[in-house]
Amino acid sequence: MDQGREVFTVDLLERHATKGRGVITCMAAGNDVIVIGTSKGWIIRHDFGVGDSNDIDLSAGRPGEQSIHRVFVDPGGSHCVATVVGSGGADTFYTHAKWTKPRVLSRLKGLVVNAVAWNRQQITEASTREVILGTENGQLYEISVDEKDKREKYIKPLFELAELPEAIMGLQMETAIMSNGSRYYVMAVTPTRLYSFTGIGTLETVFASYLNRAVHFMELPGEIPNSDLHFFIKQRRAIHFAWLSGAGIYHGSLNFGAQHSSPNGDQNFVENKALLDYAKLSNGTEVVKPSSMAVSEFHFLLLIGNKVKVVNRISEQIIEELQFDQVSDSSSRGIIGLCSDATAGLFYAYDQNSIFQVSVNDEGRDMWKVYLDMKEYAAALANSRDPLQRDQVYLVQAEAAFSSRDFLRAASFYAKINYILSFEEITLKFISVNEQDALRTFLLRKLDNLSKDDKCQITMISTWATELYLDKINRLLLEDDTALVNRNSEYQSIIKEFRAFLSDCKDVLDEVTTMRLLESYGRVEELVYFASLKEQHEIVIHYYIQQGEAKKALEVLRKPAVPIDLQYKFAPDLITLDAYETVEFWMASKNLNPRKLIPAMMRYSSEPHAKNETHEVIKYLEFCVHNLHSEDPGIHNLLLSLYAKQEDDSSLLRFLQCKYGKGQENGPDFFYDPKYALRLCLKEKRMRACVHIYSMMSMHEEAVALALQIDPELAMAEADKVEDDEDLRKKLWLMVAKHVIEQEKGTKRENIRKAIAFLKETDGLLKIEDILPFFPDFALIDDFKEAICSSLDDYNKQIEQLKQEMNDATHGADNIRNDISALAQRYVVIDRDEDCGVCRRKILAIGGDYRMASGYTAVGSMAPFYVFPCGHAFHSHCLIAHVTRCTNESQAEYILDLQKQLTLLGSEVRRESNGGLTNEAITSVSPADKLRSQLDDAVASECPFCGELMIREISLPFIMPEEAQQVASWEIKPQNLGNQRSFSLPV
């Protein structure tokens, strides 16, 4: 302990505390309130919180001398219990801080109260709640007082020591609220025993349960001036207890979270029990037992003689001796006793007239050292206040482990030291003993303890640890030949640990340095692993390809972070290594440009393959064409070239016949190069494909010529494809016919019959005379007689058909002439009241109001007019005006132009009044009549009310665009209603 710093200090609080009311016999404190009892029966209350004091005479009305035996104050300083003893017996009083007169507890008359246990968790200023009193004759009572009642609520006995009826010298109570009620734990001491009571319910039921079972107690016989029991209270909870017994100080921790069953079934909450022997306090002199005691968090304050010795509860060493400044008149008895104020954290000592205050100054400041000396390192760390103290604890642990050659454990402790030893000193310790494993452990633990801001140190240590790992791996390989195959070996374990280290430190390790280290030690697998952690995908893929593990390489390529360029770069190697998996990967990939894979596919295709092997490149190219709808000529050309190399040309023909661009507007039917396709097919001797390409390129003569070399049927089919050019089609069929005849040459009459039969297949396109030149000159006419006769019969039928058609034409012409003559005699009867369909005036009206239409001759004094078969009649000028207005612009201009030409020709040519035309007029038509006929066709070809003109008017709007101004004039505009006057109209 640091002797230069006092933990406990003594100050004189009150020199004449009794105010002349006798001498101090007892004392109690709580919440900065001190209550003392005097030898003349007075209790004096000092409230240092408000700076007030008052005194109460408890001996009033009692004969003889009276003395306060014991006084008790609750932790809040409001409630007080005192026992006065005199010649008239003993009485116990209760008083409240607000009362001026005490209240005698009549049911306790004659009983000497030695101890009181307050319910600290539930007591309030207004109510004591349940309180336990312990008497001189071993009895326990329960009382409760409410301040407003001015008297006790009840006093009832709880328990009595029957086996050994000793005086109750100390009493403490602890409570806890449980789900099934309140749990009580009560400790009581007599001069030789410590009793414990526990249970759930009320105090009465808890103690009643001990009528049928034994009471749990601890017995420590021995003489003691004053058996005493204390709890150390922290935040209103008991932390540990101490019993001043004849054998020593029995103490321990109270853990109400744990429940330890005692042999008789009780729950015991005492832990870490210990007994402090008084001999340790004597220093070889005569053992003097303490007469009073107080308990702090880490120390016991023991009143021995006239001094207070402060003993560390953990180390059981005396750390201080407290001296008191006493006056001569009170030194005869010296210090009488000690008491504590748990609420204020203060201790008090008193003699006959004076009160001394004992203050605590950070009593836990040196506890780390105490625990460290006792080798209780966890407690030492828990009580350390700063990093230097913690470093000392770690250093002691590390040195102890290092001395015992437990280097790995020592490394863990050394790694926690930050100040008192340098990094270099610690590493040299392990290097000096050649403990590489411990050094590595130290470095790893050091990494865990460094903050993220120490980037340089973290990188340096991580790199060093990497090299130590690699060295360890190499040493294990040298020591154990089976390390590579034995999965449970230390080698496999260190490999796993090293990879975990690389994963954890990937962001702090220098990439280039680490890779060089791994490469220099030959750890290729770890190099690949680290490269994958650092997303150096190219290195990883290259390694897997070298190992022949295409699937693993493809798995790397599947990662989203891998650049797509790597797929093109490694495509040739991957497809050579595993074509199936590579092509499946390509087909599953998105955003892949098939054109950039062409070099890889061509390299794969150039290699020899088994005949029955599925060509993976063809599969992928078909996927591009059919599923991806690729329009790349390179893709189509490559697929076509691979088809051309197959023995079966069915796939090639299907590919050539399929129009892949047909669905596109103005798109080509195919995307391959036809000239390249033709050269390729000619080179590979795929003649049917060549025929198709010739035909597709409109080179029909070449297609037929080549087809004749393969299959005449194919040639015929090609010749039939030409439909829009009859001459070319006939020429193609002649080529086929010539080939057929030449092929049949020298087979006599049967060959000629086959040639004649060939003519039937042309559907009449070729005649016998067309193929006769192809036969030899010495062929007999008899062989062709049937065909020639058949041909002549056909010509004869055609001549007869032409004659019939000429007769029909002549008859039709006669009918037309008759119709024309009949038309000249047609007439229509007009009623004299018939109106014009446009102007609604009489058609047959006579007057000078009508202007003659230009080019027309009036009948008498009547205006010219038109009559239609439907019965509608119109003046000629009305009809012309109506048709011009309703027809389209170009037709209207045409009608007006005809009128203008008729006007210029004059009116010398007039129709006859009946409007008929003679045969001579038909044969000799004047220009005016021709123009008039054209005008009639333009305006009177159909009735405007019954024909197409009226139907078209359905879609015309009611209001024409040129009438917009007139429509706007019809709009009703709102008037200013404020200026209008209202008129009442008579009804």
Question: 130 vs 104, 117, 119, 167, CA distance in Å?
Answer: 18, 9, 7, 21
Torsional class of 651: left (φ above 0), alpha (ψ -120 to 50), beta (otherwise): alpha
Output 434-438 pairs: Cβ under 8 A, ≥24 positions apart: 435/407, 436/468, 436/471, 436/472, 437/407, 437/408, 437/472, 438/407, 438/408, 438/410, 438/411
Show Cβ contacts of residue 219 under 8 Å, excluding neighbours closer than 6 positions. Answer: 192, 193, 194
Phi, psi of 69 (to 5 degrees): -80, -55
3-state secondary structure of 335: coil
Closest CA to 12 of 339, 348, 420: 348
CATH number given to 8-363? 2.130.10.10
pLDDT of residue 977: 47
Let me know: does 407 contact 427? Beta carbons within 8 Å: no
Torsional class of 238: left (φ above 0), alpha (ψ -120 to 50), beta (otherwise): beta
The residue to which tokens 């400041």 are assigned: 365
Q: Helices 436-449 and 455-479 sit at what angle, rounded to 10 degrees?
A: 150
Residues of the chain with pLDDT under 70: 1-5, 258-267, 284, 328-332, 483, 485, 487-488, 609-614, 660-668, 698, 707, 712-713, 715-734, 736-792, 795, 824, 846-861, 906-925, 974-987
Structure tokens at 750: 């049967």
Cross-strand pairs, 228: 244
Let me know: does 318 contact 304? Beta carbons within 8 Å: no
Torsional class of 236: left (φ above 0), alpha (ψ -120 to 50), beta (otherwise): left
**β 228-234/237-244 pair status:** antiparallel
Q: Would you say the C-alpha torsion 839, 845, 850, 851 has a positive or negative sign?
A: positive
Torsional class of 339: left (φ above 0), alpha (ψ -120 to 50), beta (otherwise): beta
pLDDT of residue 922: 43
Listed in order, the ranges of the chain carrying CATH 2.130.10.10 are 8-363
Q: What whole-number distance in Å separates Cα of residue 63 and Cα of residue 737?
A: 165
pLDDT of residue 849: 46
Count, in order, helices (H) and strands (E) of the chain: 33, 32
Structure tokens at 880: 């012309």
pLDDT of residue 749: 45
Question: 474 vs 465, 466, 493, 503, 514, CA distance in Å?
Answer: 14, 13, 13, 20, 17
Structure tokens at 285: 């002199």
The residue to which tokens 């058909």 are assigned: 801
CA-based end-to-end distance of the chain: 124
pLDDT of residue 559: 84
Query: How long a stretch of residues is the chain?
Result: 987
Closest CA to 855 of 912, 916, 899: 899
Q: Helices 598-606 and 633-644 sit at what angle, rounded to 10 degrees?
A: 10
Torsional class of 262: left (φ above 0), alpha (ψ -120 to 50), beta (otherwise): beta
Structure tokens at 370: 């105490």
**β 873-875/318-322 pair status:** unpaired
Let me know: does 190 contact 168? Beta carbons within 8 Å: yes
pLDDT of residue 113: 96
Question: 105 vs 151, 432, 973, CA distance in Å?
Answer: 8, 80, 107
Let me know: does 489 contact 479? Beta carbons within 8 Å: no
Q: How many CA atoms lie within 13 A of 63 on its CB side?
A: 3
pLDDT of residue 103: 92
The residue to which tokens 């009946």 are assigned: 914
Strands (E), 15-65: 24-30, 33-38, 42-47, 52-57
Q: What whole-number distance in Å separates Cα of residue 909 and Cα of residue 123?
A: 142
Q: pLDDT tens digit string along 79-122?
A: 999 999 988 789 999 999 998 899 999 999 999 999 999 999 89
